[in-house]
Structures are given as structure tokens and as C-alpha cells.
Structure 1
């Protein structure tokens, strides 16, 4: 059968987290770089579809193509390692330490950022004919996204920061569900179908994904968005990363681990 029972795929989650801790720095960075680049291309693709069709749902339906490709190729997103690697620490796998986990997260963060920034520069060149003219319609839309989701949050003060954080939590609840869903099946079609559903939900609902934002906001700055780099970091990237961490480990990693690995004692018959 191509479907794995929860006890089986949760064990695979822990195994995957352990493997990522011991992966070489070179391989960790390359895989993170490619993941950031592919997801950035998918984000550009989805925004282009939305602008050209006027239908955000169509962009959301097609955006998961990038997520599916990068995971089938064995690349890593920060949102995924936020969920998987802590389980290897909690399960007390030999040699897996908090320091090793933080090392993995740091390398993946910078790898994702480098990949997303590379695509941001390339797409900005396309949208402006090498920065020789004003951005086209898609470029203008990306600039407005960056502005609305930085200074737009800042205009609401603490309430805006709370909203941003909760959107980050909900995002990685869905994204990490997609990461785990890929482990439920041993067939390519099964993995793709399982990944597609939660990723479509997060994108259409406008939740905040730290790696997608690594593309949208630097790109928005290049394309004339009225916000600063520090607006982006303070009013988007940093709170989003924290929200993604909380959402992935709390609502996906720990819940699955606690009920399928460290189960409570069964009730005795009356």
C-alpha cells in the first residue's frame, strides 16, 4: 500500500529531523538555497497569474507546484526544519543537541534567503527590462504587497504585530502539514496530492510564510515599494519567522509526536 499509518510517518519525521542535524554544511546550504529559489519562482508565478486573470484563487490553486517540486527534489525550507528537527531533540536521538538544531536552522535560513534573493533580482530585471523602465503590472503588484504587509501592519501598532504573528502561526500549521503529508505516501502522485491541499489553503488565505516573504519584500523594494528594509525585518520577517516556528512545532510536530509516539496509557475496561 502507498499509504503509511500515522505511527509510521511520524517515525519518518523524527528520522528526517535527525538526518538534517548531521548533514554537512555544504549540503544543507545548497538544499536550502534551491528551496528558497524554487519557492520564490512559484510565488512570482502565482502573483503573475493573479494579476493577469484577476482571480486570486487561481494563483493559490497553482502556487503549490513550487512547494511540491522542491520537496520531491529533497530540498529544505526553514518552515519544514522548524517542525522536523526539534522532534529528533525531543526524542533524544544520539548526538542530536539543541546546538545542532540551531546550527541547522541558521544555515537553512541564510540558504533560503540567498535563493529567494537571487530570484528576486532576476524577476526584478524581467519586470523592468533591466531597470530601464517602470515595473510592469506584476512588478507594481509585488511592490504594493510589500508595502501593505509591512507599514500596513505598523499602522495598527501592537494589534498589527499580533495579527502578523498569528498569520505566521497559521501559515506553518498548514505548510508543515504539507511537509508531513508528503511522508504519508510512497507514490509521487500521493505525495503531490497530499502536499497540494494545505499549501493552497495557506496561500489563498494570505498567511505569512517567511521564505515566500524573502522573495516578495526584497523584490518589492527593488520595484518601488514605499517601505524600508527595516520595515520589512521588524514588521514582517522577524515576527513571521517566530510565528512559523510556533505554528510548526506546536500544531504539527508536537501534536503528532505526543499522540502517535508518546501516547498516553490506554484506559482500562470498565
Structure 2
């Protein structure tokens, strides 16, 4: 009863993209800030669970709680607007332009980063007792994640950059599948189930999410990670953002729009069933 058909889903995606492009600067930034902060808390939660239990799968299983919370509250992640906003321009919605898309992306990026950075500072204070002691086990883990996912890629040169980009593509393929999957249901339970599965996949597989990384890497730098802010930008954030854009827009947004909002001519035509003969109709139950 709570299921939305694919054609209705495509229309809802375009509607959502239009609403985000036309949203005020204040609302866009506030919603992006809260999304970045909540997702960062979820990442901190998942890392804590992984360190304390030694079970990465358990951390990945629980991480989607943050994504579900921010989506249900109507907050915006960069990965989601990458997928939805261009569809409103392609569909020629009133007031929607590529300039508006870029404005939305810029504001959401800034808001997400500010929210994630806030939580990075808070978590760094927690795991060091206000920077008065060495980082605890969770803080050390955060520092090592930053090293492995910057210098680790840099050690492989162009091949490392390609790997980073592809992980970014796969990440937003899954994350945006969760975003639009939630639109398939009109019930909270259905939305949560649709979001939980692909988000768990991306986190456990180690794919690169630009907003999660806005938390992991600044906190890693504050906790003694042996990499620089430049390493973070060049060998993670920038390629990840590009990969997230390609993955979400290509494999989710444009794919669903092309086949459900702009169905190819003749694809949906079903020949009418022959009318039953009077004798057959009379004999049927």
C-alpha cells in the first residue's frame, strides 16, 4: 500500500531537485550543516563500535542510523543533491538553471563541511580529554584512517587516484540509491529499509563518501595523523567529490529519469488483449 511506482518515483525526484534549487540560502545552509553533523556523528559511532567490538561489519550495520535520521528530518547531503538537482534543469522546470544547481552544490558543500568539522572538533575533545592527553583507541583509529586513505592512495600514483575515483563513484551509486529508494515508500518503515541496505554496503566496502571524509580527515589531523591538509584535499576529498558526482548522477539520477520519466517510444505499449468470445465469457468462473 505504501509503494510508489517507478514513474511516480521519477517525478518525485525531479520535484525534489526543483525544490532544492529554489530553496533559500538560509534554509539550504542550515539543512546542509545539520546533515553533515549527523552523518559525522554516525561515522564516529561506527568507528567506536568497530574499535570496541573488533567487528567492522557491526559498525557498518549500524552506521545507516545517521543517514536515516538526517533524511527523515529533511536535511541535505552533497551526494544527494548531486543526483537530484540536475534532473530539474534537464526537465526544464521553471526557475531551474545550471547556475542554480552550482549555487546549491556550493552551499550544501559548505554547510556539510561546517557540520562535519564541528563534530570532528567535538570528538577530538572527547577522545583526548580536551587535548590534555594522548588520543584513546578510538582517536588513534581515526588518525590511522586518515593516513591510509591519503598516503595509501598517493603511494600508488595514478593507479591510486583511479582507485580513489572509482570508490567515490561506487559510493554515491549506493548512497543515492538509498536517497531515491526512500522515495519509493510513503511509510517511515519502508523508507528506513530502503535506505539501510545500500548505505550499509557502501560503508562496509570502504567506498569513499565526501561528507564522511569531511569528518574523518580533519579529526585525524587534530589527533596526530601523519598526513597534511593538502594530502587530504588532493588524495581524497577532491577526487572523491568528483567520483560521487559521477556515480550518483550517472548510475542513479539519469538512469531512472531516462527510463521512467522519459520512456522510449513504444516501450510502454502493451497490445490489448483480444476480447473474449460470448461463449468463453459465459463459461468462465
TM-score, normalised on structure 1? 0.99
Partner of 2:265: 265
CA distance in 2, matches of 1:256, 1:145: 34
Cα offset, 1:269, TM superposition? 8.7
Q: Which residue of 2 aligns with 1:82?
A: 82
1:35-184 to 2 correspondences below 5 Å: 35-184=35-184
CA distance in 2, matches of 1:266, 1:136: 62
Q: Post-superposition shift, 1:266?
A: 1.6
Partner of 1:15: 15
Q: After TM superposition, give the deviation of residue 263 of structure 1 in Å.
A: 1.1
- Which has the larger displacement, 86-95 or 113-122? 86-95
Q: Which runs of 5+ in 1 are unaligned?
A: none
Tell me how far apart the structure 2 counterparts of residues 10 and 120 of structure 1 sit (CA, whole Å): 36
From the CA coordinates, give the structure whose radius of gyration is larger.
Answer: 2
User: Structure 1: which 4+ aligned runs deviate by more than 2 Å?
Assistant: 267-270
For residue 97 of structure 1, report the CA deviation from its aligned partner. 0.3
Question: What TM-score, normalized by structure 2, do the two folds share?
Answer: 0.94
Q: Which residue of 1 aligns with 2:276?
A: none
Which residues of structure 2 form unaligned runs of 5+?
272-285
**Counterpart check, 1:199 vs 2:199:** yes
CA distance in 1, matches of 2:89, 2:140: 44
Distance in 1 (CA, whole Å) between partners of 2:238 and 2:192 is 30
Deviation digits for residues 209-267 of structure 1 (CA, Å, limit 9, x no counterpart): 00000000000000000000000000000000000000000000000000001111126
* In structure 1, C-alpha distance between the alignment counterparts of 2:179 and 2:78, rounded to whole Å: 11
Distance 1:269 1:98, change over 3 A: closer
Q: 1:187 to 1:269 in 2, by over 3 A?
A: closer
Deviation of 1:89 (Å): 0.7
Alignment-derived partner of residue 275 in structure 2: none
